[in-house]
Amino acid sequence: MNKGISFTQAFFTLLKRDLQIAIRHKGDIFNPLLFFILVVTLFPLGIGPEPQVLSRVAPGIIWVAALLASMLSLERLFKADFVDGSLEQMLLSPQPLSLMVLAKVLAHWILTGVPLILVAPLLAVLLHLDDNSYGALMATLALGTPVLSLLGAIGVALTVGLRKGGVLLSLLILPLYIPVLIFATSAIDAAGLNLPYSGHLAIIGAMLVGSLILAPFAIGASLRVSTN
Amino acid sequence: MVEEKTATTLVSADNLTCIREERILFDELSFHIQAGEIVQIEGPNGSGKTSLLRILAGLSRPYAGEARYKGEDINRCRDEYNDDLLYLGHLAGVKSELTAEENLNFNLRISGYDDFDSTAILNKVNLSGFEEALAGHLSAGQHRRTALARLWHTNCKVWLLDEPFTAIDKKGVEELEQLFLQHAQNGGCVIMTTHQDMSIIGDDILRKIRLDYRFI
Amino acid sequence: MWKWLHSYADPERAYKLAGTLLPWFSALAIGFIGVGSIWGLLFAPVDYQQGDSYRIIFIHVPAASMSMSAYMAMATSAFIGLVWQIKSADWAAAAIAPIGAVVTFIALITGATWGKPMWGTWWVWDARLTSELVLLFLYLGVISLYASFEDKVLAARAAGILAIVGVINIPIIKYSVEWWNSLHQPATIKITEKSSMAMEMLMPLLINILGFGLMIGAITLVRFRAEILARNGMRPWVRELATAEGVK
């Protein structure tokens, strides 16, 4: 009986389990994605179909819809584990909690963030986004959605033990999403004007690194409170 | 009941106070549990048995006092303690979307083991033939056994078990009791709550810690 | 530091300390705000550009600057509670939150009121007002998280973690909002220009800022004491206190 599992192996064990469960539960993947598409298609109906107007507001719409979709999908991040006791086992496992948390957030991002990025260009077509902006849209989503998952997971970890989650969760995490929203949309705007946007990307990248380092600790501490 | 801490002390409670919903469950509770002991925490519903187990596991924080592992505050030696601790709560962390075998594999791997034969272990808890069944389709007893299977492959000394016999049949209870005795002989300790009578572990071996319902 | 803090971790001692400090804070707060407001509203010279309407700064600026300081105080307190596991510190953080939210709200309302004569509209997406609005949301998040937990010991810990997460994010949010603002509205008039302010205007302003700080401190102490009593109702010392006060 030797304990021969390295941290990396433990990380991938948890990642694999979460992906496996999600694949057997496909609704969890598609619902946030459908929500994202639906919200975006509502805007032309509300604002009017003029291509100039739509292409002006497209970056904002896509990003705000992405924030909401990410937040909604996050709600279930720790819920099932909390309900069936797996979360307690995770807190008591000899593996570092931050690492376990990171594996869960990564699994969640692969399942919900990546499809969001993949479907975004399609929605951009519907909203007449500037041709120059597609690269920036993809790049900001690729760098930005993991930040959303990491920050959002803190709010989810704080509310997982509560019966009323939804509205409270949005109050906790949407303010934290503001910087990502600002830099991502202005990067796309800048790209539309053929201006360089690598500076914006660098800032979002810095946010990603910062939240990768700090968020797992906050999530871990929050989970310890929630399972108390 | 409070005896001195010795070299074989595994878990101690030092003046633990627990307050839930403005009610004191227990106040300044102290004890030491030695290697080789099987301890039953008893008391009526609502007397704080589960709370005490959760505090000893480090899941809940006491209102005052400390839980200790080998004399050290468990918050200061969380890594060593978690490495030596096997806790099974009311909810045992079995995923209904995974098969019995997948559940066991995951639980053991996340606990750090990589050299186990899951078929053999499942055989020991009478789950042969159910390896491929989704845990969600198993009966309550089989579900519980899936969680308990971890006890057959562990080198953790400290076992904290909250109602381990729930939904387990008579023969299964006896097998578990045998396992507890063997674990105690090998220098481990078992701390559990249960309302069921045990047939093999007699009162001469079993140590009891009583919690009373307090009205204030 | 640790030893000193720990002697006040005991709720009873913290309660008594807060009781000793309270009259001082209250008296000084009333004194400072009284002097500052009367001086500022009645005796300070009229601004040659904005006339009398500028006088709202004697409320707006103290509220705005203290709204941020109160958040810092809340987060610091929460951090102490988290690291040294001192429940009194968690409760102090929980006690500050609603006060900070009210002060932030005052800053927002006075800012908007001031905006009406200056910009001709109640709301402008000015960097300061926007940051203040986000700060209000952060406060409301902490308050509603605290309110959502039934077990108030856990509630205070959870709210504390959120406050710390918020305090790390505030500079980033503030910076990004300012940057966003400069991008979209290059010609906005800054709400408080860094121009040289006459001494007769600056002095009452500073006095009022100090007064607001003391007032927040005083109300925090009141709420902190109430919080300690509410959480320790079953403890003997609280019962003795209640008997001494003649409460059944």
Query: Picking from A18-32, C189-203, C212-226, which range would have the lowest pLDDT averaged per residue?
Result: C189-203
At C3, the pLDDT band (50, 70, 90 cuts) reads: low
Q: pLDDT tens, A148-185? A: 999 999 999 999 989 877 789 999 999 999 999 999 99
C contacts of A164 (beta carbons < 8 Å): 148
Nearest to C137 among A158, A171, A183 (CB): A171
The verdict on A25 touching B (C-beta cutoff 8 Å) is: yes
**Highest-confidence segment of B142-151, C133-142, C167-176, C193-202:** C133-142
Residue C100: per-residue pLDDT: 96
Q: Which ranges of chain B does DSSP label H, i.e. alpha helix?
A: 49-57, 78-83, 100-110, 118-124, 140-148, 170-185
Q: How far apart are CA B54 and CA B39, in angstroms?
A: 15
What percent of chain A clears pLDDT 70, i.e. is strictly above it? 99
Contact between B23 and C234 using a beta-carbon 8 Å cutoff: yes
Residue A149, CB half-sphere, CA atoms under 13 Å: how many? 28
Residue C53: per-residue pLDDT: 80
| Chains in contact with chain B (at least 3 beta-carbon pairs closer than 8 A) | A, C
Q: Which long-range contacts (CB under 8 A, 24 or more apart) does C19-25 make?
A: C19/C225, C21/C217, C21/C221, C22/C218, C22/C221, C22/C222, C22/C225, C25/C214, C25/C215, C25/C217, C25/C218, C25/C221
Q: Which long-range contacts (CB under 8 A, 24 or more apart) does C39-46 make?
A: C39/C203, C39/C204, C39/C207, C40/C201, C40/C204, C40/C205, C40/C208, C43/C200, C43/C204, C44/C200, C44/C201, C44/C204, C45/C198, C45/C200, C45/C201
B9-20/B64-69 β-pairing: antiparallel
Beta bridge partners of B85: B158
The count of other CB atoms within 10 Å of the CB of residue C13 is 12
Residue ranges of domains in chain C: 28-244
C contacts of A214 (beta carbons < 8 Å): 168
Nearest to A20 among B59, B85, B98 (CB): B98
Distance between alpha carbon A37 and the CA centroid of its chain, in Å?
Answer: 16
Kindly identify which residue of chain C lies nearest to residue B18, measuring between CA atoms: C153
Contact between B19 and C234 using a beta-carbon 8 Å cutoff: yes
The verdict on A13 touching B (C-beta cutoff 8 Å) is: yes
Q: How far apart are CA A154 and CA C19, in angstroms?
A: 36
What residue ranges define each of the domains in chain B, with the CATH number in brackets? 1-84+159-216 (3.40.50.300), 91-155 (no CATH)
Q: Which long-range contacts (CB under 8 A, 24 or more apart) does B18-21 make?
A: B18/B48, B18/B51, B18/B52, B18/B55, B18/B60, B18/B62, B18/B63, B19/B63, B19/C153, B19/C234, B20/B48, B20/B51, B20/C151, B21/C150, B21/C151
At C49, the pLDDT band (50, 70, 90 cuts) reads: confident
- pLDDT tens across the length of chain B (216 residues): 445 677 788 999 988 888 877 778 888 889 999 999 999 998 888 888 999 999 999 999 888 888 999 988 998 888 899 999 999 988 878 998 899 999 999 999 988 888 888 888 998 888 888 888 888 888 988 999 999 999 999 989 999 999 998 888 888 899 999 999 999 999 999 999 988 888 888 888 888 888 877 655
Residue B13, H or E segment: strand B9-20
A contacts of C141 (beta carbons < 8 Å): 171-172, 175
C contacts of B20 (beta carbons < 8 Å): 151
Residue B4: per-residue pLDDT: 66
Nearest to A84 among B58, B95, B102 (CB): B95
Residue C191: per-residue pLDDT: 47
Contact between A9 and B91 using a beta-carbon 8 Å cutoff: no
Residue B37, CB half-sphere, CA atoms under 13 Å: how many? 19
Whether the per-residue pLDDT at C6 is higher than 80: the answer is no
Whether the per-residue pLDDT at A35 is higher than 70: the answer is yes
B85-88 sheet: strands from edge to edge: B85-88, B158-162, B189-193, B38-42, B206-210
Q: Which amino acid is at B203?
A: D
The count of other CB atoms within 10 Å of the CB of residue C112 is 18
| Chains in contact with chain A (at least 3 beta-carbon pairs closer than 8 A) | B, C
The verdict on B120 touching A (C-beta cutoff 8 Å) is: no
Kindly identify which residue of chain A lies nearest to residue B143, measuring between CA atoms: A84
Residue C206: per-residue pLDDT: 92
| Chains in contact with chain C (at least 3 beta-carbon pairs closer than 8 A) | A, B
When the pLDDT of each residue in chain A is averaged and rounded to a whole number, the result is 92
Maximum Cα–Cα distance across chain C: 64
Q: Which two tokens stand for residue C12?
A: 């009873």
Question: Shortest Cα distance from B51 to chain C (angstroms)?
Answer: 14
Contact between C234 and B216 using a beta-carbon 8 Å cutoff: yes
Contact between C234 and B21 using a beta-carbon 8 Å cutoff: no
The verdict on A93 touching B (C-beta cutoff 8 Å) is: yes
Q: How far apart are CA B179 and CA B165, in angstroms?
A: 13
The verdict on B19 touching C (C-beta cutoff 8 Å) is: yes
Q: pLDDT tens, C8-35? A: 678 888 899 999 999 999 999 999 999 9
Read off the DSSP letter of residue A40.
H
The verdict on A23 touching B (C-beta cutoff 8 Å) is: no
Q: How far apart are CA C179 and CA C186, in angstroms?
A: 10
The verdict on A227 touching C (C-beta cutoff 8 Å) is: no
What average pLDDT does range A82-99 have in this prediction? 92
B contacts of C153 (beta carbons < 8 Å): 19, 63
SS (H, E, C) B20-74: ECCEEEEEEEEEEEECCCEEEEECCCCCCHHHHHHHHHCCCCCCEEEEEECCEEC
Maximum Cα–Cα distance across chain A: 68
Contact B159, B86 (CB under 8 A): yes
φ, ψ of residue C210 in degrees (nearest 5): -60, -45
